[in-house]
């Protein structure tokens, strides 16, 4: 039985199709991973005491960095498709710098949270800092607690008949560990994106990307866009859902 032969163009087309498929499968696997984490988050907050945390300003700077990086990497891909090879590497360097800026903003955000007692290892609710009602609030079964004269009361306890101090003294912040897990997991995936950008810069400097051969650049750009969308989703989730 004879083995079918393929032309160079056919093999190139098959290679492009394979790499695009692998990129999509990778993104699907990441989506399922974060879907599992956010689902566990929602289940955990369904009852009992919970901490609602105001997102640090640095996280919004992170959003700007990752979205601008998405723009520059897209411009690099467009440049490759248009045959403007000299612009590819500078745009990718800009993407790399913005990615590093994103990572720096993440660390600043975690530093801000840590200063308020919100850490990966859950602290007692009594140990949380910052301004109550501004930096964080505490809820029980979905209802915000009200502090009065050094004591804690349920929001519907307008007569202040039942103090919840004993309960609060035994409770730990359960939000912080989830927040750190979600944001650290995203940063880990972004780290691989930065490595990919570095490889793409080297390839661009070697003149590897042409109007007909830029699938590697396409894969890196799509992955970066995906990371940007994923971060926006996580930020909205942490800001509004919890």
Separation CA 131–CA 116 (nearest Å): 9
pLDDT in tens, 189-238: 999 999 999 999 999 999 999 998 899 999 999 999 999 999 999 999 99
**E strands present in the chain:** 49-53, 136-140, 143-148, 151-154
Query: Which of 6-10, 86-90, 160-164 has the highest average model confidence (pLDDT)?
Result: 86-90
Q: Is the pLDDT of residue 149 over 90?
A: no
Query: Is 4 in a helix, a strand, or coil?
Result: coil
3-state secondary structure string across 82-120: CCCHHHHHHHHHHHHHHHHHHHHHHHHHHHHHHHCCCCC
pTM: 0.88
Helix (H) or strand (E) holding 63: helix 57-81
Average pLDDT over residues 116-143: 88
Q: Are 79 and 99 in contact (CB under 8 A)?
A: no
Separation CA 203–CA 190 (nearest Å): 20
Poorest-confidence range of 69-73, 175-179, 231-235? Answer: 175-179
Does domain 14-37+55-124+173-241 fall under CATH 1.20.120.80? My reply is: yes
Separation CA 137–CA 5 (nearest Å): 67
> Strand order of the sheet with strand 136-140?
49-53, 136-140, 143-148, 151-154
Poorest-confidence range of 106-110, 161-165, 194-198? Answer: 161-165
Q: Mean pLDDT over all residues of the chain?
A: 90
Tokens 């308020």 correspond to 116
H-only helix segments in 206-214: none
């Amino acid at each position: 039985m004879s083995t079918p032969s393929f032309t160079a163009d056919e093999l190139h087309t098959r290679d492009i199709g394979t790499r695009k498929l692998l990129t999509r499968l990778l993104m699907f696997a990441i989506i399922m991973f974060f879907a599992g984490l956010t689902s566990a988050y929602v289940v955990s907050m369904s009852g009992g005491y919970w901490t609602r945390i105001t997102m640090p300003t640095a996280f919004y700077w992170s959003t700007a960095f990752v979205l601008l990086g998405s723009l520059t990497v897209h411009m690099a891909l467009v440049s490759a498709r248009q045959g403007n090879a000299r612009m590819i590497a500078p745009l990718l360097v800009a993407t790399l710098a913005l990615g590093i800026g994103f990572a720096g903003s993440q660390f600043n955000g975690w530093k801000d949270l840590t200063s308020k007692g919100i850490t990966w290892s859950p602290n007692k609710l009594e140990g949380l800092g910052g301004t109550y009602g501004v930096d964080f609030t505490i809820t029980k079964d979905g209802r915000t607690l009200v502090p009065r004269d050094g004591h804690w009361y349920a929001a519907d306890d307008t007569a202040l008949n039942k103090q919840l101090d004993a309960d609060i003294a035994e409770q730990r912040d359960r939000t912080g560990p989830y927040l750190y897990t979600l944001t650290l997991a995203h940063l880990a995936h972004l780290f691989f994106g930065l490595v990919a950008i570095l490889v793409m810069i080297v390839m661009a400097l070697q003149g590897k990307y042409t109007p007909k051969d830029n699938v590697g650049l396409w894969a890196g750009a799509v992955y970066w866009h995906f990371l940007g969308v994923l971060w926006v989703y996580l930020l909205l989730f942490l800001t509004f859902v919890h």
